Amino acid sequence: MIRFAVLLAFVVVFLIPVYVLVVTSFKSLQEADPSTAWSLPKDWSLDGWRSAWDTLRPGLENSFKISVPGALISAVLGSLNGYVLSKWRFPGADAVFTLFLFGMFIPYQAVMIPLQGLLTDLELVGSIRGLVLAHVVYGIPICTLIFRNYYVTIPNELIEAARVDGAGMLRTYRSIVLPVSGPAFAVVLIWQFTSMWNDFLFAVFLGSQESWPVTVLLNNTAGSGAVAVQYNQQMASALLASLPTLVVYIVLGRFFMRGLMAGALKG
C-alpha cells in the first residue's frame, strides 16, 4: 500500500506541469498570468490554440517531413545491418560492430562542422533532405545495436534450415526474420521519430528558415520580445509540439519494452 502511495505521489508531481500547461492554454490572453496559473479558466478560450497552430504549422509540416521518412529509413538500414551482424557472420564482423558502437559516443558538436561541409558539397545544406540524411547517418549505430540484440534471440536453427532449403540471405531475411521483427521496429521507430522530432541543434546549424522544424519555431515563440507575454499561446504551442510523439508512444508503446529488452540476456 505504501509503495502505491509513493508511486501515486510521483505521478501527481509529474503531472503538475501538464496541468498548468493545459489550463493555461485554454485561458484568454488577459487571464493567462503566472499569478493565476493554478486556477481553471473562467472563460474557456481557443485563442491560444489558434495562434499556436498558425505559428507552428510550417514547423509541424517540416517535422513530419523529416521524422517520418527518417525514422523509416533508419529502421530499414538498422534491420539489415543487425541481421547481417547477427546471423550472417563474416571475417571482421566483431570489429565492424565495435565501430558501429563507437559511433554512438560521438557527440553532435564534434561532427557538426564537417557534416555541414559534406552537405554543402552535396548541395543539401538548408534542405529537408539534408536534415533527413544527417539524422539517418547519426542514428545508424543505435538502430543497428537494437536490431542486432533482437535478432540474436532468433534461433540459429531457423536460419540454417532456410539455408538448407536453398534460401539466400535476402530470402531468409524476408521470409523468416522480417515477419518477427515487429517489436524491434517499434523501438527504432519510436526512438528515431522522437529524436528527430525533438532535434534543435541539427535544425539550427544545418537547416534554413524554410526547413526549420517545430522545435525551432517553438523556441521562437518564447523569445518573440512582445510587450505582453502570450502565455496561453506558449502553453498551447508546447502541447501541440509534443502531441505527435505522444501519439507514437501510445500506438507503438506496447512493443517498446519487449523489443528494447530483447537480447539483454543473450548474445
16-33 pLDDT per residue, tens: 888 888 988 898 878 877
The rounded distance, in Å, linking the Cα atoms of 116 and 156 is: 42
Q: Is 267 a domain residue? A: no
Say whether pLDDT at 265 is over 60. Answer: no
Q: Is 137 a domain residue? A: yes
**C-beta of residue 218 within 8 angstroms of C-beta of residue 60:** no
The CATH number of the domain holding residue 175 is 1.10.3720.10
pLDDT at 260: 62
Q: Is 16 a domain residue? A: yes
Q: Is 190 a domain residue? A: yes
Task: Specify whether 33 is located in the same domain as 65.
Answer: no
Q: Each residue of 94-120: pLDDT tens digit?
A: 888 888 888 888 887 888 888 889 899
The rounded distance, in Å, linking the Cα atoms of 9 and 161 is: 53
**C-beta of residue 206 within 8 angstroms of C-beta of residue 92:** no
Percent of the chain beyond pLDDT 70? 93
Task: Specify whether 237 is located in the same domain as 125.
Answer: yes
pLDDT at 267: 42
Task: Specify whether 4 is located in the same domain as 126.
Answer: no
**C-beta of residue 48 within 8 angstroms of C-beta of residue 32:** yes
Task: Specify whether 200 is located in the same domain as 222.
Answer: yes
Task: Specify whether 141 is located in the same domain as 232.
Answer: yes
Region 164-184: what's the mean pLDDT?
86
pLDDT at 215: 93
More confident residue, 208 or 224: 208
Task: Specify whether 233 is located in the same domain as 181.
Answer: yes
pLDDT at 244: 92
Q: Is 90 a domain residue? A: yes
Task: Specify whether 34 is located in the same domain as 145.
Answer: no
Number of separate domains in the chain: 2
Q: Is 50 a domain residue? A: no
Task: Specify whether 142 is located in the same domain as 167.
Answer: yes
Task: Specify whether 145 is located in the same domain as 226.
Answer: yes
Residues present in the chain in total: 267
How many CB atoms lie under 10 A from the CB of residue 261? 13
Q: Is 39 a domain residue? A: yes
Say whether pLDDT at 266 is over 50. Answer: no
Q: Is 36 a domain residue? A: yes
pLDDT at 74: 95
pTM of the predicted protein model: 0.86
**Cα-based distances in Å from 215 to 46, 64, 202, 243:** 22, 12, 11, 13
The rounded distance, in Å, linking the Cα atoms of 239 and 179 is: 36
Give burial (CB, 10 Å; 0-12/13-18/19+) of 144.
buried
**Cα-based distances in Å from 105 to 23, 75, 102, 110, 138:** 40, 20, 6, 10, 10
Task: Specify whether 35 is located in the same domain as 74.
Answer: no
Say whether pLDDT at 90 is over 70. Answer: yes
Say whether pLDDT at 230 is over 60. Answer: yes
Task: Specify whether 22 is located in the same domain as 130.
Answer: no
Task: Specify whether 78 is located in the same domain as 40.
Answer: no
Q: Give the range of the structural domain holding residue 140, as residue numbers without chain letter.
A: 55-261
Say whether pLDDT at 129 is over 90. Answer: yes
Q: Which letter, b or e, does each residue of 69-105 get, where b requires 16 or more Cβ atoms within 10 Å of its Cβ?
A: bbbbbbbebbbbbbbbbbbeeeeeeeeebeebeebee
How many CB atoms lie under 10 A from the CB of residue 204? 14
